[in-house]
Structure 1
Amino acid sequence: MTSVDATNAQRAAAPLQRLSLAAICVLSGVLYCWGIGGSWGNSYYSAAVKSMSQSFENFFFGSFDPAGVVTVDKPPMALWLQVLSVKVFGFNQFAVLFPQVVAGVAAVFLLHRAVRRWAGEHAALIAALVLALTPITVLINRDNNPDTLLVLLVVAAAYAMTRSFESRRATWWVALAAFLVGCGFLTKMLQAWMVLPAFIAAYLVGSRAGWGRRLLDLGVAAVVVLVGSFWWVAATALWPSPKPYIGGSSDGSAWDLVFGYNGFGRIFGNGGNPGGNPGGGFQPPGGTGGGFQAPSGGGGFSGSSGILRMFNEQLAGQISWLLPLCALVLVAMLVAGVRRWRGGRPLDREQTGGWVLWGGWLVVVGVMLSFAQGIMHPYYTTMLAPAVGAVVGAGVVRFWRWYREPHGKAWLLLPVGVAITVAWAMAIVARDLSWHAWAGYAAVGLGVLALVVLLVGRRGKAALARTGLVLGLAAALAVPTAWSAIGAVSTQNGMGGANPMAGPETSMRPPGGVMRFPAAGDDGMPPDGPGQDGGQNSVEQGAPEQGPIFSTGGMGGGESLSAEQRKMLDYVQANAGDLDVPLAVEGGSMGASSYIINSDVTVVGMGGFSSSDEAPSVAQLAERKRAGQLGFVQLGGMGGPGGPGGMQRRDGMGDRDGMGEAPDGVQLPGGMPGRGGQIAQERDAWVKQNCTLVDPAAWGGSADTSAQLYRCS
């Protein structure tokens, strides 16, 4: 075929390629958007969106409560978009979740454009399809956690880096990539920086500029990424008091949040993150940790850290479907690169830069998430999905090229890739054959057929070989597609908006609303401390005989108010007048989210997410009381250091006053390990000493209610 014929063929195929991309984007939009109007997603962030929409200061800081007492535990960029959506559509479930749908589809589109410039149209379409159908990506894009926007921003940054390899204006493209990573930092802090080693290495390899120019460009990028990342941190520090307390920090500063709990604490398991307990086993409150500590290497919701974490029961079905194929592709390309170098052939800088970019992204982020010692939610792995898509797309195209070559043994890589991918998919399905096992059997059937056609078509007509390739792709994507579709229409998605997960209930740890305390002397995995990111205060741990079973009475900050909560709120509204804070609720987001979402009363969730923040402090409560600004405080019920409703036994016995004292001598946590319990209990003690308990009959509570309402005005 001449170059003219090739050009004409490309022009003829262009409409079909555009139609294919449009179909993939529509498919992703349907999966991400289906039924989102029936849920608030993560109610912690949804409540914050409503509060942020009420004043500029709340908007800028990301305030959780309408009074601007404490912020959420992340920078607010993702929530800014949700607030803008609420301003357009009103405060409702669809408006809160819709920005994530848009961001998810935009990430699919931008991944296609980035891979297309590097590896061609076919690789780009495969990459976009893989990203669209990754189960954990589908689930998180139907939620309002910040990870969806983070993925969009780093994919956009990767597109800019790809453009820098080929452009005379490389400095501008590198600076744009750095700015987008900085925006990712303002979405989820240091997690956005995980791609930087791959970006730096890719530019050093892929750029055609001299070494001096490359180093200068990276210097400019360093300045941009630092300014883009820290301007909000600096602004919050310089903002005059009074101002909201930065939730999740130990001193109320964004700097501490970045490098403490939500920074190095996630990596090393300190700073309030469960994990990193040198002794392992269960450490009760009152020990050196002051809370629940996971064994060394424990990451809570995603199982123990280590090289095989992505393949464990919690994460395998979320992200690992194509990781064996990715490993095969990267090894094959490394061998091919070494052989090319040893043969004295010149380096294709743009191609090599692309492999370093996407392969480096996959390896660096995968290793970081695999070995993270702190809280590790399964949905964090969605950050791997773009790199998985790019490596698979480019790898399959390269394998196809080798498959069609008449000589050598590299042609075997394509059928081997299909075989190992299908085998691993079936291995995941076999962990629970009671849950849609048909998807695994379908993948195996398609895989066997694909292998037969590929082997027969090796020396046959190109059309037969292409049929084998299509069947192989269908086999590789069959189970993740099924899990994604089921997750999009199912109400059983892990812990809902707090910790979305795909797959069967057996792979979801912790299951909704249950905590098992190990029996005395048990050295097994303990309950996780309350996670942030919308994480929850409960975990299924071990067999029933290990210890008493407790229920949190539903996940934190429910979707709606109970009848008892409504009665209490009506009483508060009737008696608090125009006070600045008619109602403060102990228990943080788990106590206050439902009040904020479902009413226009100014409600303060004391202690931030999990009651652990010193906001408001006892001194601030006293000052508000002296100034006549504080109406009522609720303890217990949906609040209290024990979590929603106090921790309740399934047999009906349990903590009634919300102070965290459970039956059988088990001490319940009060917020994050080492902090929340003491801080929350100091607030509770002050309330009981300085405010007056209201008879439940006065506000309509039942005689055995666990909720306690105190009048402080």
Structure 2
Amino acid sequence: MTSATETQPRITEPAAPPPRETAAPRWSLPVLLAILALAAVLYSWNLSGSSLNSFYSAAVLSGTQSWKAWFFGSLDAGNFLTVDKPPLALMVMGLSCRVFGYGTWQMMAPVAVAALATIWILHASVKRVFGHAAAAVAALVLALTPITVAINRDNNPDTLLVFLMVSGAALALRAVRNGRLLPLLGSAACFGLAFNTKMLQGYIALPAVFAVYVYASRLGWRKKAVNLALAAVALAVSSFWWAAAVSLVPASERPYIGGSTDGTAWNLIMGYNGLGRILGGEGNGGGGGGFSGTAGLGRMFNDILGGQISWLIPFAGIALVGGLVLCGRAPRTDLTRAALVLWGGWTALHYLTFALAEGTMHPYYTTALAPGIAALCGGGGVLLLRAFRTDRRWVWVLPLGLGVTAVWAAVLLRRASGWNTWLWPSILVVMALALAGLFVFRSGASGLRLRLLAASVAAAVVAAVAGPAAYAWSVPSGSGGGMSGTNPTAGPTTGSGFGGLVGGGGGRGFPGGEAPPSGQNGQNGPRGQAPGGTSGSGAGAQPGGMSRAPGGGGMGAGASSELVSYLKKHQDGAKWLLAVSSSQSAAQLIVSSGEPVISMWGWSGSDKAMTLAKLKELVKKGELHYVQLGGGMGGGPGGDSSVSSEVTAWVQKHGTAVNAASADSSANSSSQSSQSTIYRLDPSDVS
């Protein structure tokens, strides 16, 4: 028989009293609203002129045309192939476009809301532990992080991912503080939804959340175990509901899951979007080079990533270590230490994952580092300021952190040769004056000296964020940033990945270091001529006469309007307008035409979505008439696999080449090997 006392949670240490609620200073809410207004401008100014990722734009458009495509995250409304991510972010953008129409603003409205909500939630979480000043600094740092500004203006899923992870971390900290189950379950659900946004990347911070709850919660161990078991169930359900639902649909009735090797969501989870990101392979390349430079502990500070995310990493590290030392022998349940461990663990786990990843590593992934850095700068910075004023032994730590920050900002700005050359000397001068003011007015308790001390602190904050603010503003102002929507970055060009594809320059980046899709050019054929207007026009090319996305510009559209018109005119009731080798080419055509287009080999050319048997079936049913061979990403699975070779040989043998540029076949025959060709196929061609 269990006694009544055994059923109650046991508290092994005196419960730490909750933080005392104090009246918010009059400046707190106006400052937060000002930061949110600044962020709204950075995230939305001139947005309609920005180029979004056509890969996701096409999937959102397809989701507005087909509920099946919306659920699966299909690239095309015909549901041949999905994107290589779970569809939660696409679902959110797709619902917005279904309600308000398809266009840039309609698609990006929920992204902007999520970005602003992330700042609000981080501010609230930091405020409960460290106070209003710390919360304001954290919100400002997050809002001005350059790579965060760049990605929050794009339709990649990372903005929603960060929103969900920050929500999960904030709820977990609340569960530690009040001991209630509901916030813990909410935290688990948020991380599960983050998993359904970018799969295993949504779990990176989970070890820190788990450790903080286990160690710092005031509950007894039995109650903690029960709560964690229930949270694990919530995490599993919110993480795997989509993959489980997909697996229940027969393979013949669902699209091929992009990024997988066998067409299943489970393979995508464990391979391409799982260990493949860390170890390389599984369509992720290898060696740790490419978009973000070579893997290693210093990767966040290299020429490519340094200006995107590293500005305040040194200060965050100093603030974390200093804050933990200042906590000293505080009770196990001390909320200040718990918050430092949570946000410090968040930062360390993301840093190590991104720094050491051998697979595909885009610069914009590092936006997930920003909330941890921001929370440590705000919370840890306030702790260092208090120690600076009250303890002679700590008088050098805060100035050291601020001085290092200013020097590192100067280093980063000097990498951008010829870009705002006045800024780095200004930062050094302002920081030097601010540090002098800190020492002179350190003991100010009231009156003029206290106001001057506050002014010195404000000047130090301004100097610390001036560099990232300049990088951030370069994106909406059009004075910096690059890679359009495929691989957005902020600031000037300071480094290169894949031969200059990363940084402030234009162009697009492609997995595996392969070249962008070449211009598409075909040959004459008896079934008609597809006009192209310029050499290289066609699927995936970007000649003159580009068509913009329905309802808004800048969505990655780039196919020849003449070619699209020809294919539509001769579609003859087919379900798909064209089949092309890569998802990039397919996406551009989908956005330009509004029609389903097949991507035979997926984003990186490693998907085995198209087989000869499947192609024959589509042609026999009259669902597909046109196939483009050549161009794109390697031409097929593995570049020269037997699958793509079979498809290529059969299409060349039974199809009729259609000229996309000129009526004179002899003028183009010599370049057929290096140009892509569009072939016409009819049911009669299937033997």
Tell me the TM-score normalised to structure 2 length.
0.85
Within 5 Å, give how 1:642-681 maps onto structure 2: 643=633, 669-670=634-635, 674=638, 679-681=643-645
**Is residue 477 of structure 1 aligned with residue 465 of structure 2?**
yes
CA distance in structure 2 between the aligned counterparts of 1:252 and 1:621, rounded to whole angstroms = 16
- Name 1:213's counterpart in structure 2: 223
| 1:318-352: CA deviation from partner (whole Å, max 9, x where unpaired) | 11111111111122123334xx33xxx53452222
- Name 1:610's counterpart in structure 2: 604
Within 5 Å, give how 1:538-687 maps onto structure 2: 560-561=546-547, 565-586=560-581, 588-636=582-630, 640-641=631-632, 643=633, 669-670=634-635, 674=638, 679-687=643-651
Q: Relative to 1, partners in 2 of residues 1:702 and 1:224: Cα closer, same or farther, differing over 3 Å?
A: farther
What is the one-letter code of the residue matched to 1:26? A
Residue 272 of structure 1 aligns to a residue whose secondary structure is coil
CA distance in structure 2 between the aligned counterparts of 1:206 and 1:536, rounded to whole angstroms = 49
Residue 120 of structure 1 and its aligned partner are, at CA, apart by: 1.4
Q: Relative to 1, partners in 2 of residues 1:166 and 1:513: Cα closer, same or farther, differing over 3 Å?
A: closer
CA distance in structure 1 between the aligned counterparts of 2:155 and 2:666, rounded to whole angstroms = 35
CA distance in structure 1 between the aligned counterparts of 2:266 and 2:510, rounded to whole angstroms = 22
CA distance in structure 2 between the aligned counterparts of 1:476 and 1:626, rounded to whole angstroms = 65
Number of residue pairs matched by the alignment: 621
Residue 498 of structure 1 aligns to a residue whose secondary structure is coil
Within 5 Å, give how 1:338-417 maps onto structure 2: 340-341=328-329, 346-405=331-390, 407-417=391-401
Match among 442, 464, 468 for residue 452 of structure 2: 464
Residue 576 of structure 1 aligns to a residue whose secondary structure is coil
What is the one-letter code of the residue matched to 1:683? V
CA distance in structure 2 between the aligned counterparts of 1:422 and 1:671, rounded to whole angstroms = 49
| 1:585-604: CA deviation from partner (whole Å, max 9, x where unpaired) | 22x22222222112133322
After alignment, is 485-494 or 212-221 more displaced? 485-494
Match among 124, 137, 140 for residue 135 of structure 2: 124
- Name 2:532's counterpart in structure 1: none
Structure 2: unaligned runs, 5 residues or longer: 1-18, 503-507, 518-535, 548-556, 683-687
- Name 1:544's counterpart in structure 2: none
What is the one-letter code of the residue matched to 2:290? G
CA distance in structure 2 between the aligned counterparts of 1:67 and 1:698, rounded to whole angstroms = 31
Match among 322, 336, 341 for residue 326 of structure 2: 336
Q: Relative to 1, partners in 2 of residues 1:302 and 1:564: Cα closer, same or farther, differing over 3 Å?
A: closer
| 1:134-187: CA deviation from partner (whole Å, max 9, x where unpaired) | 00000000001110000000011111112112224x211111100000000000
CA distance in structure 1 between the aligned counterparts of 2:364 and 2:388, rounded to whole angstroms = 36
Q: Relative to 1, partners in 2 of residues 1:700 and 1:331: Cα closer, same or farther, differing over 3 Å?
A: farther
Residue 628 of structure 2 aligns to a residue whose secondary structure is strand
Match among 415, 419, 422 for residue 403 of structure 2: 419
What is the one-letter code of the residue matched to 2:313? L
Residue 501 of structure 1 and its aligned partner are, at CA, apart by: 1.0
Within 5 Å, give how 1:473-552 maps onto structure 2: 473-490=461-478, 492-510=480-498, 530-531=510-511, 537=515
Asked whether the equivalents of residues 215 and 332 of structure 2 are also in contact (C-alpha less than 8 Å), the reply is no
Within 5 Å, give how 1:29-428 maps onto structure 2: 29-168=40-179, 170-240=180-250, 241-275=252-286, 296=287, 298-337=288-327, 340-341=328-329, 346-405=331-390, 407-428=391-412
CA distance in structure 2 between the aligned counterparts of 1:702 and 1:27, rounded to whole angstroms = 59
Q: Relative to 1, partners in 2 of residues 1:468 and 1:111: Cα closer, same or farther, differing over 3 Å?
A: same
What CA RMSD, in Å, does the superposition of the two structures yield over aligned residues? 2.8
Residue 14 of structure 1 and its aligned partner are, at CA, apart by: 3.7
Residue 79 of structure 2 aligns to a residue whose secondary structure is coil
CA distance in structure 1 between the aligned counterparts of 2:87 and 2:569, rounded to whole angstroms = 34
CA distance in structure 2 between the aligned counterparts of 1:202 and 1:84, rounded to whole angstroms = 36
Asked whether the equivalents of residues 277 and 358 of structure 2 are also in contact (C-alpha less than 8 Å), the reply is yes
CA distance in structure 2 between the aligned counterparts of 1:702 and 1:182, rounded to whole angstroms = 58
| 1:379-400: CA deviation from partner (whole Å, max 9, x where unpaired) | 0000010000100100111111
- Name 1:442's counterpart in structure 2: 426
CA distance in structure 1 between the aligned counterparts of 2:293 and 2:660, rounded to whole angstroms = 43
Residue 189 of structure 1 aligns to a residue whose secondary structure is helix
Asked whether the equivalents of residues 495 and 511 of structure 1 are also in contact (C-alpha less than 8 Å), the reply is no
Match among 652, 656, 660 for residue 688 of structure 1: 652
Residue 584 of structure 1 and its aligned partner are, at CA, apart by: 1.6
What is the one-letter code of the residue matched to 1:425? A
Residue 53 of structure 1 aligns to a residue whose secondary structure is helix
| 1:495-545: CA deviation from partner (whole Å, max 9, x where unpaired) | 11111111222324346669xxxxxxxxxxxxx99429xx97459xxxxxx
CA distance in structure 1 between the aligned counterparts of 2:645 and 2:142, rounded to whole angstroms = 46
Tell me the TM-score normalised to structure 1 length.
0.82
| 1:76-112: CA deviation from partner (whole Å, max 9, x where unpaired) | 0001111112112211122222222111111111111
CA distance in structure 2 between the aligned counterparts of 1:564 and 1:305, rounded to whole angstroms = 36
What is the one-letter code of the residue matched to 2:415? R
CA distance in structure 1 between the aligned counterparts of 2:35 and 2:97, rounded to whole angstroms = 28
CA distance in structure 2 between the aligned counterparts of 1:248 and 1:702, rounded to whole angstroms = 39
Residue 628 of structure 1 and its aligned partner are, at CA, apart by: 2.4
Residue 357 of structure 1 and its aligned partner are, at CA, apart by: 0.8
Residue 437 of structure 1 and its aligned partner are, at CA, apart by: 2.4
CA distance in structure 1 between the aligned counterparts of 2:291 and 2:241, rounded to whole angstroms = 32
Residue 703 of structure 1 and its aligned partner are, at CA, apart by: 4.7
What is the one-letter code of the residue matched to 1:352? R
Residue 630 of structure 1 aligns to a residue whose secondary structure is coil
Asked whether the equivalents of residues 498 and 536 of structure 1 are also in contact (C-alpha less than 8 Å), the reply is no
| 1:36-86: CA deviation from partner (whole Å, max 9, x where unpaired) | 112341111101111111111111000001211000000000011111121
- Name 2:12's counterpart in structure 1: none
Residue 574 of structure 1 and its aligned partner are, at CA, apart by: 2.1
What is the one-letter code of the residue matched to 1:437? T
Q: Relative to 1, partners in 2 of residues 1:147 and 1:37: Cα closer, same or farther, differing over 3 Å?
A: same
Residue 260 of structure 2 aligns to a residue whose secondary structure is coil
| 1:388-437: CA deviation from partner (whole Å, max 9, x where unpaired) | 010010011111111221x4221222211110100111111122331222
Asked whether the equivalents of residues 50 and 91 of structure 1 are also in contact (C-alpha less than 8 Å), the reply is yes
Asked whether the equivalents of residues 512 and 554 of structure 1 are also in contact (C-alpha less than 8 Å), the reply is no
Structure 1: unaligned runs, 5 residues or longer: 1-5, 276-295, 515-527, 540-551, 644-668
Residue 557 of structure 1 and its aligned partner are, at CA, apart by: 7.1
Q: Relative to 1, partners in 2 of residues 1:158 and 1:513: Cα closer, same or farther, differing over 3 Å?
A: closer
Asked whether the equivalents of residues 32 and 488 of structure 1 are also in contact (C-alpha less than 8 Å), the reply is yes
What is the one-letter code of the residue matched to 1:146? P
Q: Relative to 1, partners in 2 of residues 1:382 and 1:336: Cα closer, same or farther, differing over 3 Å?
A: same
Match among 668, 681, 685 for residue 712 of structure 1: 681
Asked whether the equivalents of residues 59 and 80 of structure 1 are also in contact (C-alpha less than 8 Å), the reply is yes
CA distance in structure 1 between the aligned counterparts of 2:639 and 2:565, rounded to whole angstroms = 33
Asked whether the equivalents of residues 494 and 512 of structure 1 are also in contact (C-alpha less than 8 Å), the reply is no
CA distance in structure 1 between the aligned counterparts of 2:558 and 2:36, rounded to whole angstroms = 43
Asked whether the equivalents of residues 434 and 459 of structure 2 are also in contact (C-alpha less than 8 Å), the reply is yes
CA distance in structure 2 between the aligned counterparts of 1:492 and 1:7, rounded to whole angstroms = 45
CA distance in structure 1 between the aligned counterparts of 2:241 and 2:58, rounded to whole angstroms = 25
CA distance in structure 1 between the aligned counterparts of 2:558 and 2:324, rounded to whole angstroms = 63
What is the one-letter code of the residue matched to 1:195? A
After alignment, is 703-712 or 264-273 more displaced? 703-712
| 1:670-696: CA deviation from partner (whole Å, max 9, x where unpaired) | 467x46765444432221122111244
Residue 409 of structure 1 aligns to a residue whose secondary structure is helix
Identity of aligned residues (%): 41
